[in-house]
Structure 1
Amino acid sequence: MPEQWKFEARGPIRVTGGIKARSKRGTIAQTWWSQRFIEVLESFGMGGRLQRGKNYARSGQVLNMTLSTSVVVGLVQGSRQEPYRARIGIKAFSSQQWAHIERELAGQALYAAKLLAGEMPTDLEEVFAELGLELFPSTMRELTMDCTCPDWEIPCKHLAATCYLLAESFDEDPFQILAWRGRRREELLDRLRALRGTQQVTPEETSEEAPLSDHLHDFWTSPSPAGTPESATSGTPALDELEPLPLKVNGTAVTDLLRPAYRAFTR
């Protein structure tokens, strides 16, 4: 047996200060989106390698993990002195695809409200699917994995450990999933706010955002007409909008005599 494999058989070098999974037993992922990610990974037939990776994640063998557009990099301590670098890559959506996604999300009040509140809508995947996109990878071909360890099989336990901690990071911040796909939280929310600010509100959105029960007190009152002149709302009588009337009473213009009455009506 080659010397490197004898060395590997000794087991990982234990470290302190590594990133430890919060879950000590059972399922690591807690939210539907992180569970969805793990389900996808397990469907690829990783089996025992995922279990060994889970043990690595729980014992703190991952020293560091960073996520950026399209790639996650984990620094994992194995049996050698130098930690292994595990990389998990996914294709980011293009700017044009994100523009379609953002318009679709902004056009539906419920999705926009949840995202702006920091929540992940339970059926968010359906929005992507309607646009011909997949939020989570469905095949191994959609993921690029590599590790500097001598194990030639992909994924190795170092990659699996990184995957589990990645799932936990999705628990803490679901926007990490979208950032991995190419859109940071701040950028996405700014785009949604801008789009929501310029879009016309539909009756369906009004019913979601303002239920009838909230307006029982003014249900039978007439709505304010659109385009009400500023002078009318500020208390100035509408007669100011007309040409001056050529009538006077005891030397006082009729419009000035009517003004107090108009103001009283406005109040």
Structure 2
Amino acid sequence: MPDPDPFWWRDAEPSRPRKVEGGIQINSSRGPVARTWWSQRFLGVLESLGMGGRLSRGRTYARAGQIVALDIDTGGALATVQGSRPAPYQVRVGVPAFGKAEWGAVAQALADDASYAAALLAGEMPRDIERVFEAVGLSLFPAESRDLAMDCSCPDYAVPCKHLAAVFYVLAERFDADPFQILALRGRDREALLAEVRARRAAAEEEAPASGGALADVMDRYWSAGGALDEQLTGPRTPPDALLDQVPPFPIAVRGEQVTELLRPAYRALGSAE
């Protein structure tokens, strides 16, 4: 006769979690969570690693605000997630951080292209920034399962469990609001990266006159725009409703709907009319 209580379920957590007051929750009450291309890419990579079905288990946790605390730092994120048991679970998501030499190569590549520098200074993530990392032998997002460490103190044998999955959704929304947190996971925060890019561009400008006679050689085309100017001036477009993802949840709802979700169709309509 089969064991009515298999060992892998004996310590399994009941389905209904304890309510958390003031927990961290995602703003999206339904539909897709990620609003920007970089957050969509982040979740897409996780799904490509075979985690798609398991990720959906944590969406309800993320929307219910079951995450008590979340800290993002070099090499990963640490979170505390409340389940159905009295003590919340400790969750860790780890990614390998790049070294100084690796970040130097990335910063140099970004400094060499004015369009990348302009987008970063404007707080945008250049759409093809992944190519910059690939060109120096790196991957901005986890490329395979071994690039992603996942730990949770819960008894669930599945990886990712719903607590880990909830953290991934909150991370995606954090990346929507601040794409530089993706880079921070890999070892460079916004201020450090931009400072290095500026320094490298300034050094290149100081060295330019040393070539002697170079300006005279290009005077016939000095004022020409060049064929790639349109591409350089075309930066990534922010979704028209992205601002709503940064608005704190309203204390009241309208017919059960968050105010931000009621406003979202109007923002999108205005954006499509441009």
Same fold (TM over 0.5): yes
Provide the residue aligned with 2:135 in structure 1: 130
Alignment of 1:29 with 2:31, yes or no, is no
Please tell me whether residue 155 in structure 1 is matched to residue 135 in structure 2: no
Name the CA shift for 1:84/1:205 in 2 (closer, same or farther; >3 Å): farther
User: Which ranges in structure 1 are unaligned for 5 or more consecutive residues?
Assistant: 212-267
Counterpart Cα distance in 2 of 1:88 and 1:38: 14
Query: How far did residue 124 of structure 1 move?
Result: 0.4
Aligned amino acid, residue 67 of structure 1 = I
Runs of 4+ in 1 over 6 A off after TM superposition: 201-206
1:51 to 2:56 alignment? yes
Local SS of the residue matching 1:20: coil
User: Which string of whole-angstrom CA distances, capped at 9 and with x for unpartnered residues, describes residues 121-148 of structure 1?
Assistant: 0100011111111000121111011000
What is the Cα deviation at residue 6 of structure 1? 6.9
CA distance in structure 2 between the aligned counterparts of 1:75 and 1:157, rounded to whole angstroms: 13
- Residue identity in the other structure for 1:195: R
Q: Give 1:1-267 correspondences, 5 Å limit.
A: 1=5, 5=10, 8-200=13-205, 207=225
Work out whether residues 7 and 79 of structure 1, in 8 Å CA contact, stay in contact via their aligned partners in 2. no
Distance 1:86 1:104 in 2: 35
Please report how far the alpha carbon of residue 48 of structure 1 lies from its aligned counterpart in structure 2 after TM superposition. Answer: 3.2
Separation (CA, whole Å) in 1 of partners of 2:15 and 2:38: 36
| Separation (CA, whole Å) in 2 of partners of 1:69 and 1:133 | 16
Measured in 2, the distance between the counterparts of 1:10 and 1:104 equals 49
Q: What amino acid maps onto 1:154 in structure 2?
A: V
Among all aligned residue pairs of Structure 1 and Structure 2, give the percentage whose two residues are the same amino acid. 51
Unaligned runs of 5+ in 2: 209-214, 230-274
**For 1:170 and 1:47, how far apart are their aligned partners in 2?**
19
Q: CA deviation at 1:71?
A: 1.4
Provide the rounded CA distance (Å) in 2 between the counterparts of 1:118 and 1:166.
Answer: 18
Q: Secondary structure at the match of 1:47?
A: helix
**Residue type of the partner of 2:120?**
L
Name the structure 2 match of 1:253: none
CA distance in structure 1 between the aligned counterparts of 2:76 and 2:163, rounded to whole angstroms: 15
Measured on the aligned residues, the alpha-carbon RMSD in Å equals 2.4
Tell me which of the two structures has the higher relative contact order, counting C-alpha pairs closer than 8 angstroms and 6 or more residues apart: 2
